Amino acid sequence: MTTTLSRNTAMRLASEAFVPYGCKAQAHEEDDSFSISIHDLHGQQVHGIDHILSTQYASPVRLAGVIEQARTDLQRQGRNLDPWTMPHIPDPEVLPEAPPVY
């Protein structure tokens, strides 16, 4: 059985994938997509994706690919990120607690 992610769950997963940078996710009601913007410690945007469509975020595998591509883009800019992998999601409504952000 394939787990299907809701937009809210996908936004939460994306927001947690760019530590130590901040990541803000914003829902777009008109097309059921969302965007992310990644900011450095000074609040400057260093990367972003304007639209992550439901066809990209509903599948954990496809969402992981979108996130990994963004992480690769940041690393090519010389930005160091904490390790990240897509968590195993048996029930997308009960995600593991996010680690605290300092």
- CB count, 10 Å around CB of 61? 9
Residue 5: name the closest of 88, 100, 101 by CA: 88
Side by side, the strands of the sheet bearing 22-28 are 22-28, 33-39, 45-52
Over 90: is that where the pLDDT of 100 sits? no
Over 80: is that where the pLDDT of 3 sits? no
Q: Please name the amino acid found at residue 65.
A: G
Tell me the β-bridge partners of 26.
35
What is the per-residue pLDDT for 87? 85
What is the per-residue pLDDT for 88? 72
Average per-residue pLDDT in the chain? 88
> Which residue has 């990994």 as its token pair?
68
What is the per-residue pLDDT for 93? 54
- pTM of the entire predicted model: 0.82
Structure tokens, 97: 């607690």
